[in-house]
Structure 1
Amino acid sequence: ARQEKRISRGRILGGTSALPGAHPWMAALYIADEFCAGTLVSSCWIVSAAHCFLRNPLKSQIRVVLGQHSFNDTGPNTRTFAVQDYILYPPVFAALVKLKKVEGRCALKTPFIRPICLPGKDLTFPDHSCCKISGWGHMHEKANSYSHLMEGVVKIIPFDQCSSPDVYGSEVRSGMLCAGSESCVDACQGDSGGPLACDCDGVSFLYGIISWGDGCGRSGKPGVYTLVNYMLHIKSIFHTVLYAL
């Protein structure tokens, strides 16, 4: 059965420890008694996964921590925000979260906090490109703890391969992409909503959002991601908000 990758992980499965500040766009979302990741795309806006919010949590139940390295640690490099609003767009499994301003401002750039770039309409990464995933999620499928930020490299898998009957079939559709690794690097529970970041000319772009997959690191069952390019360019509230940034 499909197993959604919800935020409550200790680390990227099969990954390595990330250096503090290596992924300054990472956001930790504490949603009532659940945990998800997100990606800072401007001073006030976070992109995450819709299924993190499907229980319709009160905005007062959501806390966003930027600059976090270790799970649930608010050290000197972190900034914590309440949420002003969140917008769900289930057709592409995505969510937008607006931070509540503190003294008239949202996130200020620091060595540990910085938005990632959004891809332009024509920016695509070819099949087999290497991209990075990062998160605090579980280290294996049955784990139940989190720790410090982990990272891993995955390759974009051809759509035809991922939508074949022996992988995900018709569950994978337009607006999704698959990525995985022969060395079993994968996202897991608790990494949901985090970034698939691909580099072009030394600049990192948010190319995918960690969404779902069967288990964690299972052979022949890669991770499935929301394709940010698709989300940006369909005529939706996401298109309107993100193009206003």
Structure 2
Amino acid sequence: MQPHQHIQIYHCPNRSELTAAFGCGVPAYPPLVSRVVGGENARPYSWPWQVSLQYNANGKWSHTCGGTLIATNWVMTAAHCISSTLTYKVLLGKYNLAAQEAGSVAASPAKIIVHPYWNPNNVANGYDIALIKLSQHVTLSDHIQLACLPPAQSVLASNTACYVTGWGRLQTNGPLPDDLQQGLLLVVDYATCSKPSWWGTTVKRTMVCAGGDGIISSCNGDSGGPLNCQAADGTWEVHGIVSFGSSLSCNYYHKPSVFTRVSAYNSWIKQVMASN
């Protein structure tokens, strides 16, 4: 890792029977997507697999990370979002975190499985993925739907347009929004992202880089949330889990947001869901 590569993990400071009926990756309220630069409020409930992972401190619940609903009782997030000392809950069907919203659901984790090779002292090693088994199945609805996972080992082409979504900071050290945000990020291929002037050896083939234009990026509080990319048939697939970015600033030039590449972990995800 080159000495100037400072990694910032984006913490906040303070498929089941139903899949057949609903499918995955097809929102009831399609997202409003255009090639807009700069984050923007998402259309309400247009990313219905997005969850807010919250922790309890002194009786108050606070958003810490995003996550993705991948089965009616399983949520995928980043390993670095999980602390063994905290109590968590998962909010589903949310758009405005400050509002009471009809149809939203709060679920408690029955168990949380962090990838066994995750090392919090070496984020650049990868394996930044965790699965949360919910204590009960959630009922799918217009506001709560499943994400599709990409085909195993699939790798996105350079400049594929994807959307990062979350309730993370609007800019470096900026405010936390109440409304879910979306931001267009173009995929940067491994050959480019691993150049010394980009992320160098910090980035691995089990990761996805996206962004790096110096304008738009994920930021603190987006961690664990999805990188949503539209497949040829129009369904949305979650290709990435927000993992890390530059500690210099969220949208530092040639330091794209780095995501755990979901397609590198399909077999691990299936195995965990089958054995728990």
Q: Same fold (TM over 0.5)?
A: yes
Partner Cα distance (1:205, 1:244) in 2 = 24
Give the structure, 1 or 2, with the largest relative contact order (CA under 8 Å, sep 6 or more).
1
Residue by residue over 1:117-140, the C-alpha shift from the partner in whole angstroms, topping out at 9 and shown as x without a partner, is: 111226442111101111111011
CA contact (8 A) 1:32 1:57 kept: no
Shift of 1:6: 1.7
The aligned length equals 232
Aligned residue number for residue 241 of structure 1? 272
* Structure 1 CA distance for aligned equivalents of residues 135 and 98 of structure 2: 20
Deviation at 1:21, TM superposition (A): 1.3
Q: Does 1:93 align with 2:97?
A: no
Question: What is the TM-score with the length of structure 2 in the denominator?
Answer: 0.78
Range with bigger deviation, 120-129 or 80-89: 120-129
**2:131 equivalent to 1:110:** no
- 2:12 and 2:273 mapped to 1: Cα distance? 23
Question: What's the counterpart of residue 104 of structure 2?
Answer: 78
Give the equivalent residue in structure 1 for 2:11. Answer: 6
Select which of 161, 179, 197 maps to 1:130: 161
The list of structure 1 runs, each at least 4 consecutive aligned residues, that deviate by more than 3 angstroms after superposition, is: 242-245
Preserved CA contact (<8 Å) 1:8 1:145 = no
CA distance in 2, matches of 1:165, 1:180: 17
* Kept in 1: contact 2:186–2:211 (CA 8 A): yes
Q: CA deviation at 1:161?
A: 1.2
For residue 71 of structure 2, the aligned residue among 30, 35, 42 is 42
Q: Alignment partner of 2:265: what SS?
A: helix
Task: Flag structure 1 segments of 5+ consecutive residues without an equivalent.
Answer: none
Task: Name the aligned partner's letter for residue 176 of structure 1.
Answer: M
Q: Is the 8 A contact 1:49 1:93 kept in 2?
A: yes
Distance 2:255 2:146 in 1: 30
The root-mean-square deviation of aligned C-alpha atoms, in Å, is 2.2
Deviations 1:165-207 (A, max 9, x none): 1121111112111000637221000000000011111100111
Separation (CA, whole Å) in 1 of partners of 2:275 and 2:141? 23
Gaps of 5+ in 2: 1-5, 15-36, 119-125
* Other-structure match for 1:213: 245
